[in-house]
Amino acid sequence: DSGVTQTPKHLITATGQRVTLRCSPRSGDLSVYWYQQSLDQGLQFLIQYYNGEERAKGNILERFSAQQFPDLHSELNLSSLELGDSALYFCASSVARGQGYGYTFGSGTRLTVV
């Protein structure tokens, strides 16, 4: 157990629907990162939050949004889902950037859009 909890582990939904993925960071970690990994592809950076504030954005689609709550958990919202959104979605957490700490990843949410 890495200490980063992602729920649900699996999600199957239809095109056009909306889903919410949840991430609870390790205790004490203030930063949360979201990544998307399509089948047999690399990890694409989506977005980062630090202590509730958005700090960096990658190639995140406008249909996707995220937030980090006061208790530091984060949610990634995916709407108007398309078949191509099927992927593994990972979150990672760290105390802060640039301080020599490794970033710990959760076990991911596998999203299947049918």
Partner 1 sequence: LAKTTQPISMDSYEGQEVNITCSHNNIATNDYITWYQQFPSQGPRFIIQGYKTKVTNEVASLFIPADRKSSTLSLPRVSLSDTAVYYCLVGVPNTDKLIFGTGTRLQVFP
Chain contacts with partner 1 (rule: CB under 8 A) = 2, 4, 33, 35, 42-45, 48, 50, 55-58, 88, 90, 92, 97-98, 100, 102-108, 110
Identity of the residue, 96 or 114, whose beta carbon is nearer to partner 1 in the bound complex: 96
Identity of the residue, 32 or 78, whose beta carbon is nearer to partner 1 in the bound complex: 32
Least gap, CB of 60 to partner 1 (angstroms): 11
List all residues 6 or more positions away from 50 whose beta carbon is below 8 Å from its beta carbon: 30, 31, 32, 68, 96, 97
Identity of the residue, 73 or 110, whose beta carbon is nearer to partner 1 in the bound complex: 110
Q: Find out whether 32 and 92 touch, Cβ atoms under 8 Å.
A: yes
